[in-house]
Structures are given as C-alpha cells and as structure tokens.
Structure 1
Amino acid sequence: MTAPLLHKQSGQGLHCLDRNESLTPSRVSRLLVPLFHEDMGYPSPLAPEGTLYPFYTPSDPLVVDEEALVSPMHPLEWRRRTQQARMLLQHFHAPLPEHHESVPMARVLELTIDPHGEWLRQVASLMPDTHVIGITSQEFYARQATFFAAVQGCRNIHIQMCPLSQSLPFPAESIDLIRGSFLHASLPEHLWPLLLEECFRLLRPGGVLHLLECGRGESTSAAGGTLCAAYRHSLEMRRNASRPSVPGARTVRAFQPEHLPMRLAKTGFVAVEQQESLLDFSAGMPFHGTLRDQADDFFQLVAPLCTHDNGPLSLEAYQRAYHEMQLELLETTFRGYWHLCIIRGYKPSGRLSRPIASMHRGQPSSHIRLQPCSLLAMQEEAQQREQAPNEEADNRED
C-alpha cells in the first residue's frame, strides 16, 4: 500500500499532492541543505550513510505558555495518543514494575489518561482490589475511557475531570502510586513545580511517583531530521514571541527531561532513580509500522506551525520533506530509536513536619512539606560533632 501523502490545507478541505511526482536526488539534496543556520540542526546532504538524525518523540511539546498548538480532539492526535499507550504497554510488558505490583496498593492515580484509558484498564484488571483513578481535562476522553472500562467489566476505575494546572481534588496522603507519561508534551514548563508539589502532597508516606519521558529520538531519515528541525525552530520562535518584555515577567523554557530527577529531589522525594529503556522501531522490528503511523500523524499535526507566514519552511518544501520521510521509513535499512527515561521518587516515610507556603497562586497553604527525618538527623549530628571541639577550645581559653 502506498504511504499517504501530506495534505494541503484549503479552508476546511484537504487535497493531496500528485502521487506521480518524482523526487530526483538533486531536488532532495536542495531540500535537505541547511536552510537557516548550521546550529539549527538541519541535516547535511554530505552526511555518510547510516547517520542518525533527530526524530519525533512523544515528549515533543505541543503547548507553549498554556497555548495548545494541537487540539487533543483532533482525530490524528486521538489516534496518536491511543497508539502510544498500547505500544508502551507492549514494550514494558506490564503497566507497573514488578516490585510495585507485589506491594498492596489501595489507590493508584494516572495523570492525563489516554483517550481509551488503556493503562487504567490494564492496572484495574491486574489489581481488582485497587481503586484506579485517572484525571483528564478532556470530557470526551473521560466518557470514552469510562465506556471502555464498563465494557471490560472494570468496576474499580474512576475518571476525574481536572486540568494539571490546578490543585488536584484528592485528600493529602491518599494515593499509593502516581503515574504520568510524556507530560512534557502538554504541561508548560512553569507548571512543573506546582504539579510535583501536588504529587508530593497526595502520596502517602512511602508512596511513589513514576514518570516516563522520552529523552531523544533519532533515525536514519534525513528528511525526518529536516522536519524535526523545522518544528523545533518554529517552537522556539513561538516561545520567544510569547515571552513578555516586562522586567520580571515569566519566561518559557525549552523541554529538558534530564532535569526531572533534580526537580523531584528538590521537591522532597527521596531515593530518586532514573532508568533508560531503548525502544527500537527500525525496519523489521515489531513497532516499525506503529512508529511510521506516529510520525505521519505528528508531522501532519504540526504542519501549520512550520509553514505559517514566518515559518521556517514553505508549504511545498514541507510537503516534499514529509513525502521523502515516508519513503525513507519504508527502506529496509531504516533504523530508528526512542530513548525512554523512567524517573521514580519516593515520599519519605520517616519525616519531620515543616510548613512550606503553597506555590499555587492565590491559594493558602493547605499542607505541609515533609522532609526525610533520617537525613536531617544525620546533618544535625555532623554539625554537633564539628561544633564540639570548638566549644571545648573556647572553654579552655576562658
């Protein structure tokens, strides 16, 4: 079956490029040369065969300063999120790590469910005595996930409508495990401290926060690298345009998943650990076809961002790169990888009460920040040992 082509937009209608249009090497080379500046990441036509270029990842942000660049209700976005959820369950073989499944859990919370509630239903089936909760800001996602849960007979699932930008409507220390996947795609950078603080408040002592992000994607598709560079350049232009010029105003930072472990530790989580998992979608691998669909959907969704009046590519150049990427992904020598990162942190079970003002604007502090008691005790003992010789010396001098 011939790979679908990118559509031109004409009002609300769409029409395809000519399928008989040939892409000669000279035309492709002209397309793939750096179009802006060398450090923008555009692939060079002189790169050796087998070179890996940046590729689409599920953590690529689709929101800038709380402005959604892609509607969650778009049919392509709906399909992309559903495919991602199913693919991850297959890749990891189980919804939770083994050492979590063996621990009794009364309540489990998923941040931002997928449209069909795939992960929720897996956990609910494996742990029928656990109250499995999912939150979403999309009412239709909630209805759809509830419907599939009812069809599957999962009566221990509850869906709550709530955006992550607000306080989560659950009591303090009421959740055993909180899970979130690819939150960087939809959560603005400045909201991360607020969300982590909420997760810390909700977890019971000893509870775990389990986050999944994609550090980077790469493939042998040079055209895919061109599309990624155009998308990221457009995103940076949108970020810069959204930054207020007033002194002291909030700025928008780029996506940096490698900072998550440090952020968890700063929030108060202990035993923070990071694990990496390689998802191989090269030609002949099980997820190759799914990732082709994912890339097709993603680059159609972000096409308006990359081809607007001040965009880095013209619509014609973008369409040609898109079509070339589809052909490159079908080659038998194609290689592609997602570098997935799992970040876990635990709420300390031994703790000292220490009130910290809430970071939520306009809201009074409604909980206390808990710090690891053993760590504080060790620090106090070390300080006492250092002060003891000085005090003895002062006494002798007196």
Structure 2
Amino acid sequence: MSLQQSIHLPSPQGLLFFEKNEHPAHDKPSHLLMPQVREDVGCQAPRAHKGAFYPFYTPSDPLVLDEEVLVSPVHPLEWRRRCQQARLLVQHFRTPLPEQGEGLQMKRVLELGTDPHGEWLRQLASRRPTTEIIGVTSQVIYARQAAFFAAVQGCRHVSLQICPLTRPLPFPAESMDLISGRFLHATLPEYAWPLVLDDCFRLLRPGGVLRLLECVQGASTSAAAGTLCASYWHQMDRLRAAARPSLPGTRTMRLSRPECLPTRMEKRGFVSVEQHESLLDFSAGTPFHSTLREQADDFYQLVAPLCTRQDTPLSREAYQQIYHEMQLELLEPTFRGYWHLCTIWGYKPSGRVPRTIPTMQVKHPIPQFLRPCSQLCSLFIT
C-alpha cells in the first residue's frame, strides 16, 4: 500500500528544576538521576495536597528524534496507550470542540495523527453527521482499524488518509474549514513543525481554524516517577547533543516545546491566536486514576531500552527497582497527580478578521504551583 492512499467508508512554578553547582559529599557517588523540587513557600502545594510534586510523564513527551523513531507506533503497549489517551480526552472534554461551540459552520474537517480507534473522528461525526471528516495517519493498520470502528458506528462521511505528516498533505489548497491535532509533539520531529504549520495554513479556507491540543506539564507526588522522568529527559538531551553537536560559541538546538506553539502559529500567519487551559486530575480516588497508572506503566516500559543503554548512568536493575517503586507510589491513597492541558487555536486571515472567541472559564482553576515554568528544566546527577 502506498504512503498516500485513502480508506473510505460506506456511504508551573513549583516544578522548576535547578542545576546544582556542587555535588553532595558522599563516599561513593550515586548513579541515579534525582529530580529537585523547590521548597520555598510560594511554590508549595495547597494544604489539601501536602508533599512535594515531581515531574510526571505527559502524552506530549517526544518519542522521535529527527528521523529516529524511539518507540514503534505499532508496539502493543504504544497502541493501547494512544487509544487510552483518545478515550480519556473524550471523557474529560465531553465534546470534540469545547472552545468552538456548535455555531461554527464546517463542511470539511481534517484531523492530524488519528488514533487507532478514531475516537475524535467518530465523536465529531456523531454530532455533525453532514460534515466531511478526514483523518490522516502514517500507519496503515491505524487507518484500517479506525475505518472499521467508524463503519460499525455508521459514520458515513468519514475517511482515512495514509500519509506521514513530514510530507505535504495531498489535499487542495483552501479546502478545509478546521484542522485539529492532539499531542503532535510526541511523534512530530522538531524540523517538521514549520512544514506542518505552513501546510495547514495552505489547506485552510480564509477564516478557517487550526486547533492543537498539547500537554505542557505533568506533576505528581511520586518521587520514583520523577526519577524515571528525569532519566528519560537526560537521555533525550544526550541523544540530541550527539546528533546535533553545537559549534563553538553556539547553543544546542532545543526540543520543540508546546509552550512555543502560539508564537509559532503567529509567525506562520495565523491571527487571533488564543489558548484554553484545563487541568486533568488523576489523583487517587478520581475517575482517571486507574487509566493514568496504566499510561505511566506503558510509557516507562516503552522507554526502558532508551533509559538503560550502556552509556546511561542508570542500570537495568536500578531502573526496574525505581519502576516498581513508582507502581507502589501510584497506588497510595494520598497520591496526587495532574496533567496541564492546553488547547491553542488560530485563524487563517480573511477579508474580515474573525472575532476573537472569549476565553472559556476553567471550572477548576490551575493551582499556582502547577503553572508552566518559563524556562526549560535541567537535571543534575548526584
């Protein structure tokens, strides 16, 4: 099957990390990567959430490095992880376009990076049965599975297109009313972002909307999860430094961060760019707790080969020990965990600049200690 083939259906501040200048005086240095948490009063958790917060896995954590795919998209654990994420978002937002409203007229919608079950496509098709909805994925098996579920549900105007996002999308210019993407930072290489945004600008009709959902930060009270997260990012930094060595007097290229999306979209020509923040609580006792435990288990199993390579400071035995400690900490009745989700949308200019949509009120305001940090996190080895 060719890469461009269609499958049609029947008719926070408290999480800042600081680089330690001096290592503690120990007789024998440890080989573990340890996260560091600010202890000042202004960044402590509320009284109901006592204890330190550490970095936690997010669905926007990158699994590609340039052309190197670090985790196979068809791995059973990765398949399950992506399907769970899609169902989780459906339950969290309860509507495919919470910030756009029902009044937005859409004849044709494009989804970038469709999940294996096509959850978002089917949800939107059930609410807008006359809208043509197209899903794009680079995996043939994803497209077949999503097409099967859509056919079973009776979605008549849904189709799947097989095409990698690193190539120009095979659609006419100004043919889409809305383009949506979720957690693209996980699978889209850094170099491809300008190409994708330019392609979306080309495909949208004047006044069309580009809508992107990312997770800008994760936090939990599990110190073991923070250690695994630190190990993962430390290895990613090492791989990037080896793949893109810095010239004398220059800085190594940074990974693309979701916080940069509004600025990137404005530079590509989008106007009235706004963002809506929401907090997904997966603490013990919440409806999402069990799903997020499985998500963390799957993610750290998938990246275990990456974090325990021969040139890494973490051995397989130590990694497994910390992994099991994380599993136990996530089961504690006092466990607290959060995902900081952010939806960014912008318009393609037309003769009449569209009215700015008022920012929605967040039902549960994001605590100050979970606000996204303004600088990149750094790690230290003790």
TM-score, with length taken from structure 2: 0.79
Cross-structure match for 1:178: 179
One-letter identity of the residue aligned with 1:332? P
- TM superposition shift of 1:35: 4.0
Superposition map of 1:167-246 within 5 A: 167-243=168-244
- TM superposition shift of 1:242: 1.2
Tell whether 2:297 aligns with 1:296. yes
- TM superposition shift of 1:251: 6.8
Superposition map of 1:151-162 within 5 A: 151-162=152-163
Taking the aligned partners of 1:340 and 1:43, their CA distance within structure 2 comes to 23
Taking the aligned partners of 1:154 and 1:167, their CA distance within structure 2 comes to 27
- TM superposition shift of 1:97: 2.2
Superposition map of 1:61-210 within 5 A: 61-97=62-98, 99-210=100-211
- TM superposition shift of 1:177: 0.4
- TM superposition shift of 1:161: 0.6
Which structure 1 residue ranges, 5 or more long, are not aligned? 1-29, 352-371, 374-398
Find the residue that maps to 1:333 and give its secondary structure: coil
**Counterpart contact for 2:246–2:252, Cα < 8 Å:** no
Cross-structure match for 1:334: 335
Q: For residues 35-72 of structure 1, give each alpha carbon's deviation from its aligned partner in whole angstroms, at most 9, with x where no partner exists.
A: 46xxx75258x999610000000000000012110000
Sort the Cα spacing of 1:199 and 1:251 in 2 relative to 1 into closer, same or farther, 3 A: farther
One-letter identity of the residue aligned with 2:182? S
Q: For residues 297-351 of structure 1, give each alpha carbon's deviation from its aligned partner in whole angstroms, at most 9, with x where no partner exists.
A: 0000000000010123100110010000000000000000000111010011128
Find the residue that maps to 1:99 and give its secondary structure: coil
Cross-structure match for 2:35: 42
**Counterpart contact for 2:84–2:291, Cα < 8 Å:** yes
- TM superposition shift of 1:185: 0.3
Tell whether 2:283 aligns with 1:282. yes
Q: For residues 149-185 of structure 1, give each alpha carbon's deviation from its aligned partner in whole angstroms, at most 9, with x where no partner exists.
A: 1111111101001101111111111100000000000
- TM superposition shift of 1:98: 5.5
- TM superposition shift of 1:255: 3.3
Taking the aligned partners of 1:169 and 1:250, their CA distance within structure 2 comes to 36
Which structure 2 residue ranges, 5 or more long, are not aligned? 1-25, 45-49, 355-382
Taking the aligned partners of 2:301 and 2:122, their CA distance within structure 1 comes to 30
Find the residue that maps to 1:101 and give its secondary structure: coil
**Counterpart contact for 2:215–2:340, Cα < 8 Å:** yes
**Counterpart contact for 1:61–1:255, Cα < 8 Å:** no
- Between structures 1 and 2, the one with greater helix share: 1
Cross-structure match for 2:14: none
- TM superposition shift of 1:85: 0.2
One-letter identity of the residue aligned with 2:199? E
Tell whether 2:254 aligns with 1:261. no
- TM superposition shift of 1:96: 0.9
Q: For residues 269-304 of structure 1, give each alpha carbon's deviation from its aligned partner in whole angstroms, at most 9, with x where no partner exists.
A: 110001110000000011000000000000000000
Cross-structure match for 2:5: none
Taking the aligned partners of 2:344 and 2:99, their CA distance within structure 1 comes to 15
Cross-structure match for 1:347: 348
**Counterpart contact for 1:35–1:42, Cα < 8 Å:** no
Taking the aligned partners of 1:57 and 1:232, their CA distance within structure 2 comes to 12
Find the residue that maps to 1:313 and give its secondary structure: coil
Sort the Cα spacing of 1:162 and 1:337 in 2 relative to 1 into closer, same or farther, 3 A: same
Aligned pairs, number? 319
Taking the aligned partners of 1:270 and 1:329, their CA distance within structure 2 comes to 42
Taking the aligned partners of 1:130 and 1:103, their CA distance within structure 2 comes to 11
TM-score, with length taken from structure 1: 0.76
Sort the Cα spacing of 1:299 and 1:136 in 2 relative to 1 into closer, same or farther, 3 A: same
Runs of 4+ in 1 over 6 A off after TM superposition: 46-49
Find the residue that maps to 2:278 and give its secondary structure: strand
Taking the aligned partners of 1:307 and 1:171, their CA distance within structure 2 comes to 46
Find the residue that maps to 1:286 and give its secondary structure: coil
Identity %, equivalent residues: 68
Q: For residues 181-206 of structure 1, give each alpha carbon's deviation from its aligned partner in whole angstroms, at most 9, with x where no partner exists.
A: 00000111111111000000100111
Cross-structure match for 2:313: 312
Q: Compare CA radii of gyration and give the structure with the larger one.
A: 1
Taking the aligned partners of 2:153 and 2:219, their CA distance within structure 1 comes to 37
Cross-structure match for 1:377: none
Taking the aligned partners of 1:168 and 1:52, their CA distance within structure 2 comes to 41
One-letter identity of the residue aligned with 2:145? Q
One-letter identity of the residue aligned with 1:259? C
